[in-house]
Structure 1
């Protein structure tokens, strides 16, 4: 009876990241630098807050948008760190950033609408666009150091364009956009009926410059939805707490989709999040410094191997070109078989990732050293 299923579901596949991870998972002596998950534990004070929430029976449904103290804390947090001004009614606490993206797309997309994406890009957007009835349109950013430019964006806008997704800092490339670059993009979109989804889940992990959000620009704030969360900043991937920021006229409609989708985010996780946004504001600093050390180490090792690489200024990934006639997938499989090292094939991030590999440095220095030793061995063997 499979033919009776929705064509939108039949048309999508499991993420290439997970597909490759699952393929090599469980094999002996495989060192994996594939998953973008912090190797830090959730800070103890946040775990304690969750335990206290259980003990105080804070285990019931909450307001659909999230408990008010949490939304107020998020508002204070984004104002302090990103200079953004949002009221509690313009904030929705979600089940991770992924659900925030899903309910936003289902609110704004109609069948046939086009959504612009800078490629290569995180593979989670395309399926959600298709499930909402939209059409993903990829913009090749390989010749602009993986940065979407205003010129590239303008060249791809049609009368069907409904939205552009700005996923910066980027997964898989680690690059980000500065104020000048985002202002140029805002100038293109300002007078057009196009939404902006700014996925800023890696915004606490920027290294040379402070993160700048396009929602800081008044000219596009009323058409911008900011997506963020605690998974990367506070090592809380499994807690599934994200949030979105949107002008009230839009947030009230997204909330309807959210309500019928999940009712509310988990109450216990919400109280843990409240602790993170109030007493855990400095938690990301130690992690960020560790990532800088790891990034610099990986960068130097790759350069010494002769690998063509763009040094990331955010997130915790390297996306580098491979010199081979093999596809990214076949190259990655051969590397697993030959030296026991797993990296994500670049084509998991759209066709524009073909010929690249993604390395996650969200691992200990010891693990990174061994992984890069294996990579160097494989490269020498292949040449």
Structure 2
């Protein structure tokens, strides 16, 4: 048989169109309208309009200069090659030393896994514990950024309703959502968007219930140092062990390093080993020069963090004083974080749009965080008080015009 004849017998398979994964289809189906106000606001700001963006949680503070100098020094030392997939040992050692001091426990560097931000850490954690069709349970209102991560992996986030106006994490309602496809419980403390600190007794109970039911307990603590009157207590301090516990944190908020993408998990050594394999298959390794600067940030952070925390507290207090002057609005003063959730007593999607068009001030509707906050908007504290003053003057004048 000739080569040409043999080739002719091999079936040629063709597709009508290029393939698209179910992951992409799931992500395309997400309702992103909540971000439309922010996206339009930024476009209008770039076009020269006097827009005041209060719609995103990106610190307005510059990254502290000593961290900038640290990354420059690391670059000069040619720290620009591959790193360990688990993260630089110097950074993991600094984290272990820090956590030993905070928790009073022996925390080892090998219990940490370094990721490209907290979102990447959550993605890696879910990849290690859940399969498509599984679910994680938590409470509303939720951080609106969770949705894309969970949808990407085909994991359902089931969120129990909580009671206004405080929307405290409700352990009983959360546990009621557990079914045969539940693999874990998620708690966000201090929380985004409410700024609530989950009390130690609730965290202990969640640990005990998850331990008894063989469920993972994931604690997202990105705002761990952005507390005000009441100090945050980490699950890492309260849990007797890390067999089923994963604590997630980052430098994005605490050190004004949102663009540096440095996050991590604290877990058992065995789970950290599994996360290393996840990291190896997704981003291979992080940036050594970034992690060197992150190490420096953790070793010399007290003054910078305290300064930012005090400024956020002042902005919170100012914002609450302006809300008190407007009969249409109500809000609970957040215990932590960089947002205030304002009850505007009407559907938040329409209100946010009208607010932008009427004042040039952008906020985020509360609907994506859960139906419990569908009448709320999230206002960030990521502008200095003079800018907040201008924003509130515009809002107050606009409301007066609307009511006249």
Counterpart check, 1:111 vs 2:132: yes
* Partners of 1:186 and 1:377 in 2: CA distance: 49
The number of residues matched between the two structures is: 381
Paired with 1:45 and 1:382, the residues of 2 have a C-alpha distance of: 48
Please report how far the alpha carbon of residue 111 of structure 1 lies from its aligned counterpart in structure 2 after TM superposition.
2.3
* TM-score, length of structure 1 as denominator length: 0.94
Structure 1 CA distance for aligned equivalents of residues 140 and 122 of structure 2 = 18
1:316 corresponds in structure 2 to: 338
- 2:400 corresponds to: 380
Q: Distance in 1 between matches of 2:105 and 2:254?
A: 18
Unmatched tracts of structure 2, length 5 or more? 1-15
Q: Distance in 2 between matches of 1:322 and 1:2?
A: 47
Contact 1:40 1:235 survives alignment (8 Å): yes
Q: State the alpha-carbon separation in 2 of the partners of residues 358 and 334 from structure 1.
A: 15
The partner residue of 1:61 within 82, 92, 96 is 82
CA radius of gyration, larger in = 2
Rounded to whole Å, the distance in 2 between the matches of 1:194 and 1:380 is: 52
Query: In the alignment, does 2:226 pair up with 1:205?
Result: yes
Give the corresponding residue for 1:360: 380
Of 265, 278, 295 in structure 1, the residue corresponding to residue 316 of structure 2 is 295
Flag structure 1 segments of 5+ consecutive residues without an equivalent.
none
Separation of aligned partners in 1, 2:18 and 2:54: 38
Residue number in structure 2 paired with 1:73: 94
Q: Offset of 1:232 from its aligned partner? A: 0.5
Is the counterpart of residue 24 in structure 1 residue 41 in structure 2? Answer: yes
Alpha-carbon separation, structure 2, partners of 1:84 and 1:234: 25
2:391 to 362, 371, 383: 371
Separation in 1 of the partners of 2:330 and 2:154? 38
1:349 maps to 369
Query: What is the CA–CA distance in structure 2 between the aligned matches of 1:291 and 1:7, rounded to whole Å?
Result: 41
- Aligned partners of 2:103 and 2:236 also within 8 Å: no
SS at match of 1:129: helix
For 1:21 and 1:110, the matched residues in 2 are separated by: 33
* Contact 1:115-1:129 within 8 A present in 2 as well: no
Tell me the equivalent position of 1:336.
Answer: 356
2: CA distance between counterparts of 1:236 and 1:83? Answer: 27
Deviation at 1:241, TM superposition (A): 0.7
Distance 1:83 1:22, change over 3 A: farther
Aligned counterparts of 2:98 and 2:292: Cα–Cα separation in 1:
15
